[in-house]
A and B are shown apart, each in its own frame.
Chain A
Amino acid sequence: MVQAPRQTVRLELPSDQNASGRTLGEEEIALVAEAIRSGTLTSTKGTFVKTLEQRFAEMLGVKYAYACSSGSGAVHTAIAAIDPEPGDEIITTSITDMGALTPILYQGAIPVFADVDPKTWNVTAETIEKCISDRTKAIIVTHLFGNPCDMTAIMELANARGIPVIEDCAQAFLATHADQPVGTIGSVGCFSLQQGKHITTGEGGIVTTNDEALARRMFLFINKAFGYGDPNPDHYFIALNGRMCELQGAVAVAQLSKLWGCVEHRRLAAKKMTQKLQGIAGIETPYHDDRNTHVYWKYCLRVDSSIVLDGAVGLAKKLKERGIFSAPRYIQKPAFQCMIFEQQRTFGNSRFPFTLARPEAVDYTPSKFPGTFAGLEAVLVLPWNEAYTDEHIDYIANAIREALV
């Protein structure tokens, strides 16, 4: 094997936390300026958020898309639309952001954690099935890192049991499974426009559905459950104001026009990276399912700690020396090991809704989650960006090769 020449010059990588790795520019400035000049900054009266919703729905081929204030808000909106009874169970993944879990508790339901496939870090039909009970109200699947879950198997299971599926697509804009865009396969899709996502408005979210009844409830939930446009409008149920404002809408419209190119760029860069990392002992490049379009929110390696000294953590340290800030173990620990679940800290001292839970539903014994622990142990999340040039890809690939070969 030819060894790469040792890199001595440090290369600054574009970052999604600032302009270096974001597509924000003149288009966004022009539209925001227009929104400000219009004097209408609320989406109830303006056109930018409506434009975003129209175009997002059209892009995915769904009947309804509604913008909201955050990705967490999108998940909350989806759950509120499904309207669980207190104590109902919602199956979700053990590797996810807390923003996708707390909405379950706010709606009085119990998160039941499914294990993941350590190869993909995604939940599977098999792991979900083990969690289904007669109190299961919904299933949330997260297309982690931009790689879709096996929705064919999951939908087969969910449809057979009559359980709605919420897709968390925060990291998976334009990803597809079996030629269907994620966010259109289950009952509801949830997207995030937070700073680090494929496209951004700083904070923001979008929900999608083809179901008229769910669409109606989601629209209401985002709007304090007030029936705008109804003959005798009223506030129909408990809901907050979760709207996106026109300033964000203006940015989102401009960002949306850049999304396809952004995804294409990330995918092409990932393909090159995978080619460059072939044959290096101790790492596995991202798992590829031929039915999927992976959109590479991040590029994740599986590191074999029996070959690589100190595993993912050891490799991350060596990369950091070259200015490559990766994330070994991703979220460090499974969601159920966070304080909120361990101590059941919710509303005052009530522990609600945990007080309504079946013991099995809140049994977080580690042996129940082998895939989760193995997956987190092995994962090294590389920073990934649409601004990467061949030089950046070479730099990262050579740094990995130097660290391991």
Chain B
Amino acid sequence: MNKLKFGLIGAGGIAQSYAQAFEQCQTAELVAVVDVRIEAAQALAERLNCQSFNSYQTMAESIELDAVIVCTPPVTHRDIAVYFLERRVNVLCEKPLSVDVKSAIEMVETAAKHGVILTMASKFRYVEDVIRAKSLVMSGILGEIVLFENAFTSRVDMASRWNSNPAISGGGVLIDNGTHSIDIMRYFLGSLAEVQVIEGKRIQSLAVEDTVRIFAKSASGVVGNVDLSWSINKELDSYIRIYGSQGTISIGWKESKYRQSSSPEWIKFGNGYNKVQAFTSQIENFSKAILGQEILLITPQDSIASVEVIEAAYKSMNRTQWTDVSYESLTLLGFATSPTNGDRAFATTRK
């Protein structure tokens, strides 16, 4: 089978994970890497035996592409995505899809207009333990879901990283790690109706928030809380905990397990976080969607809904009060909204 030809735009940290994933891919191959730092592009291209460019326009003019993966800072996502979508090249855009709803709408509209696929990349949705946990939740084994907890905290010096430059990143830890959290929370709880964000003490003297706590309420009344920080390390075994009326699920870095309230024992169901597996599954799902063989796991609706929630979260942080998530963009774009918001449950579990 001829593999789909992908270009990778941006050769920073996350591109290294994509490089590993492409080595495993059955349906896609990387044919070009772009970075304004040509030496970074060359180093990655050498490893993957593909071409390198210092501008995405030059790459687009030089080679035939089926798709690109956008791994550049968020403020650039809109322009790069639109550029390729208008050339009928499919776009997988790293999270966040964009820094605001307005530009996200433009991106989704452009994709629809030109009949190509645009969606957001968010690796945790492809982690096998996360997928199994969703299956457990839906089976009713925990009873009614009451509370969702998530934490992505790690002490990292962000002073010299683009992620802490709001002009490039669109915000701090809330938009950076928070987009993952919102996407996962939506996956488990469905549509999020309200958010409230409390900012913690700024430790790193950055221009953006480095610690926040998100509170969220789903449309069905489930409460979620998320801790995000670049300045503390909570040293938890799990990054997601889901509490139901009849039990608890713990999704961890090294193992995942669940326990029913009536039983003293935890039952292990997964082996933890496997980054290469997650990235590989993400590329494969996107590629098969291009080929018309699979529906997307993360849809354009999911992508734009995440941007909506993050935008509401920033409003809330500045006001310190509960803020409704409007989802006006979904209505504007003609997407049907439902309690699942086009959720894409994805089952690939091996016993």
Binding site for B on A (CB under 8 A): 23, 25-27, 29-31, 33-34, 37, 47-48, 50-51, 54-55, 58-61, 174, 176, 179, 181, 253-254, 256-262, 264-265, 268, 293, 386-387, 389-390
Query: Which stretch in B61-69, B73-81, B289-297 binds the other chain?
Result: B289-297
Known: A26-B339, A59-B347. A387 touches B140 (CB 8 A): yes
Interface presence of B288 (CB below 8 A): yes
Query: Which stretch in B128-136, B205-213, B307-315 binds the other chain?
Result: B128-136
CB pairs A–B below 8 angstroms (21 shown) = A23-B138, A26-B339, A27-B340, A30-B341, A30-B342, A47-B289, A47-B292, A50-B294, A54-B294, A55-B346, A59-B347, A59-B348, A256-B345, A258-B135, A258-B345, A260-B135, A260-B136, A260-B347, A260-B349, A264-B136, A265-B141
State how many residues of chain B have any CB contact under 8 Å with chain A.
37
Residues of B within 8 A of A264 (CB): 135-136, 139, 141, 269
A-B contacts at CB below 8 angstroms, number: 112
Query: Is the pair B293, A55 in contact by a Cβ cutoff of 8 Å?
Result: no
Nearest chain B CB to A170's CB is how many angstroms away?
18
Selected contact of A386 from candidates B139, B292, B340, B351, CB within 8 Å: B139
Known: A261-B137, A268-B260. A253 touches B295 (CB 8 A): yes
Q: How far, in angstroms, from A31 to B340 measured CA to CA in the complex?
A: 10
Residues of A within 8 A of B350 (CB): 59-61, 181
Q: How far, in angstroms, from A288 to B267 measured CA to CA in the complex?
A: 19
A259, closest chain B residue (CB): B347
Residue in A174, A181, A261 whose Cβ sees the most chain B Cβ within 10 Å: A261
Residues of B271-329 contacting chain A, CB below 8 A = 288-289, 292-295
Q: How far, in angstroms, from A58 to B26 measured CA to CA in the complex?
A: 13
Dominant SS at the A interface? helix
Nearest chain B CB to A193's CB is how many angstroms away?
14
Query: Is the pair B262, A254 in contact by a Cβ cutoff of 8 Å?
Result: no
Interface presence of B343 (CB below 8 A): yes
Residues of A within 8 A of B267 (CB): 268
Nearest chain A CB to B256's CB is how many angstroms away?
12
Residues of A within 8 A of B246 (CB): 389-390
Known: A50-B294, A58-B348, A176-B351. A261 touches B342 (CB 8 A): no
Nearest chain A CB to B347's CB is how many angstroms away?
4
Residues of B within 8 A of A259 (CB): 135, 347
Residues of A within 8 A of B269 (CB): 264
Nearest chain B CB to A358's CB is how many angstroms away?
40
**Closest 9 pairs (CB-CB, A-B):** A257-B345, A261-B139, A261-B135, A261-B136, A260-B135, A257-B347, A265-B139, A265-B141, A258-B138
Residues of B within 8 A of A30 (CB): 336, 338, 340-343
Q: How far, in angstroms, from A48 to B349 measured CA to CA in the complex?
A: 19
Known: A47-B293, A390-B262. A257 touches B336 (CB 8 A): no
Q: How far, in angstroms, from A262 to B140 measured CA to CA in the complex?
A: 8
Q: How far, in angstroms, from A150 to B139 measured CA to CA in the complex?
A: 29
Q: What mask results when residues 177 to 190 of chain B are scored 1 for a CB within 8 Å of chain A, else 0? A: 00000000000001
Query: Is the pair A51, B132 in contact by a Cβ cutoff of 8 Å?
Result: no
Q: How far, in angstroms, from A112 to B338 measured CA to CA in the complex?
A: 52
Residue in B267, B343, B351 whose Cβ sees the most chain A Cβ within 10 Å: B351
Q: How far, in angstroms, from A238 to B47 measured CA to CA in the complex?
A: 52
Known: A23-B138, A260-B132, A265-B139. A51 touches B349 (CB 8 A): no
Query: Is the pair B338, A29 in contact by a Cβ cutoff of 8 Å?
Result: yes
Query: Is the pair A261, B138 in contact by a Cβ cutoff of 8 Å?
Result: yes
Query: Is the pair A23, B345 in contact by a Cβ cutoff of 8 Å?
Result: no
Query: Is the pair A174, B135 in contact by a Cβ cutoff of 8 Å?
Result: no
Residues of B207-259 contacting chain A, CB below 8 A = 246
Interface presence of B166 (CB below 8 A): no
Residues of B137-158 contacting chain A, CB below 8 A = 137-141, 143
Residues of A within 8 A of B143 (CB): 389
Residues of A within 8 A of B289 (CB): 47
Q: How far, in angstroms, from A59 to B351 measured CA to CA in the complex?
A: 9
Known: A55-B348, A258-B135, A264-B269. A23 touches B140 (CB 8 A): yes
Query: Is the pair B293, A386 in contact by a Cβ cutoff of 8 Å?
Result: no
Residue in A37, A55, A174, A260 whose Cβ sees the most chain B Cβ within 10 Å: A260
Q: How far, in angstroms, from A256 to B347 measured CA to CA in the complex?
A: 6
Residues of B within 8 A of A55 (CB): 294, 346-348
Q: How far, in angstroms, from A240 to B319 measured CA to CA in the complex?
A: 65
Residues of A within 8 A of B132 (CB): 260-261
Query: Is the pair B140, A386 in contact by a Cβ cutoff of 8 Å?
Result: yes
Query: Is the pair A258, B338 in contact by a Cβ cutoff of 8 Å?
Result: no
Selected contact of A265 from candidates B131, B140, B292, CB within 8 Å: B140
A387, closest chain B residue (CB): B140
Nearest chain A CB to B303's CB is how many angstroms away?
16
Selected contact of B138 from candidates A60, A257, A293, A390, CB within 8 Å: A257
Nearest chain A CB to B1's CB is how many angstroms away?
13
Q: How far, in angstroms, from A37 to B342 measured CA to CA in the complex?
A: 13
Residues of A within 8 A of B338 (CB): 26, 29-30, 33
B339, closest chain A residue (CB): A26
A388, closest chain B residue (CB): B140
Nearest chain B CB to A403's CB is how many angstroms away?
24
Selected contact of B345 from candidates A61, A174, A254, A389, CB within 8 Å: A254
Q: How far, in angstroms, from A37 to B295 measured CA to CA in the complex?
A: 14
Additional 20 contacts, C-beta under 8 A, given A176-B351, A256-B345, A258-B347: A27-B343, A30-B336, A30-B343, A34-B342, A37-B336, A50-B293, A55-B348, A59-B348, A181-B350, A257-B345, A258-B135, A258-B345, A259-B135, A259-B347, A260-B136, A261-B135, A264-B136, A265-B136, A268-B141, A268-B260
Nearest chain A CB to B351's CB is how many angstroms away?
5
Residues of B within 8 A of A29 (CB): 338
Residues of B within 8 A of A50 (CB): 292-294
A385, closest chain B residue (CB): B140
Query: Is the pair A33, B294 in contact by a Cβ cutoff of 8 Å?
Result: no
Residues of A within 8 A of B260 (CB): 268, 390
Q: How far, in angstroms, from A286 to B341 measured CA to CA in the complex?
A: 42
Nearest chain A CB to B245's CB is how many angstroms away?
10
Q: How far, in angstroms, from A50 to B348 measured CA to CA in the complex?
A: 15
